[in-house]
Amino acid sequence: MRNASETAAVLGISPWLTPYQLWLLKTGRREQVVNAAMLNGTALEPEARSACELETGHVMQPLVMQDGNYSASLDGITLQGDLIVEIKVPMRGASSSLWQAVEAGDVHGHYGAQIQHQLMVSGATTAHLWVFDGARGLLRTIERDESAMATLRDAWDGFSRFLATDTPPPLLPADTVLREDAAWTEAARAYAKAKQATLVADEALESARQALVALAGHPREEGTGVAVTRYWKAGNVDYKRVVELRGVQ
């Protein structure tokens, strides 16, 4: 399914997900990670929607819609179906770059792509981007853009070919390649085994060192090819910073 929330990644303009990373998710090679920002947005969405309804006077109903291979999870749509709303609840509220951009009358490109996808699937003519900080909100109106919809459909067609052929899309600098070949697997397992052996050896070495130090009673002792030397180092304390010692000679 071609989801609205994934369109920015398909276009290569998502700040969080590259086309390759999306390909890993959709082919089952990686699992979706739910972060704190997602949980925050989900928790505050009902409250944000109510605040938006008070602001605009429109009753908005959450709805998942599908049009062929395209789908969109709408935060709200009017009964007439002519207006949708996309709700964003940034963790940093009014200090976030999203809030400041919307306040300046701008919309980040990745959000614009998501909303055009939603407009395409829903058939609505207008969308409201509602940015909410938990107490107040900012509203930005976005109109339907047929050329943007054609661009995203072309991008999805290209991305779908990578899925159909199980071929990864071109990598971006932000990508980390997932290696599944036998040579890598063998080398990785050997490294992990050696590292574990090193950790065990380090623990044994420290335990033996402490035992030797405990046995040594003279400043310098040696035996069986091992020497233990005790030495004393002058302290490096800034006594002027110790409040209790101020004024003490």
Question: Which run of H or of E encompasses 63?
Answer: strand 61-67
Residue at which a domain ends, from 164, 199, 228 = 164
- All residue ranges of the chain with pLDDT < 70 are none
Residue 154 and residue 209 in one domain: no
Residue 158 and residue 197 in one domain: no
- The tally of domains found in the chain comes to 2
Residue 130 and residue 32 in one domain: yes
Task: Determine the pLDDT at residue 140.
Answer: 96
Question: Is residue 110 in some structural domain?
Answer: yes
Cβ proximity of 123 and 112 under 8 Å:
no
Task: Determine the pLDDT at residue 240.
Answer: 77
Task: Determine the pLDDT at residue 120.
Answer: 98
Residue 57 and residue 154 in one domain: yes
pTM of the model: 0.77
Residue 4 CB contacts under 8 Å (≥ 6 apart), including other chains: 70, 71, 72, 73, 114, 115, 117, 118, 121
Question: Is residue 169 in some structural domain?
Answer: no
Could you list the residue range(s) of the whole structural domain that residue 198 is in? 182-245
Report how far apart the first and last C-alpha atoms of the chain are (Å, whole number): 79
According to DSSP, residue 93 is labeled: G
Question: Is residue 176 in some structural domain?
Answer: no
- Mapped onto helix, strand or coil, the DSSP state of residue 3 is strand
Question: Is residue 172 in some structural domain?
Answer: no
Task: Determine the pLDDT at residue 205.
Answer: 95
Question: Which run of H or of E encompasses 132?
Answer: strand 126-132
* The pair of three-digit structure tokens given for residue 94, joined into one six-digit string: 């009014």
Task: Determine the pLDDT at residue 38.
Answer: 85
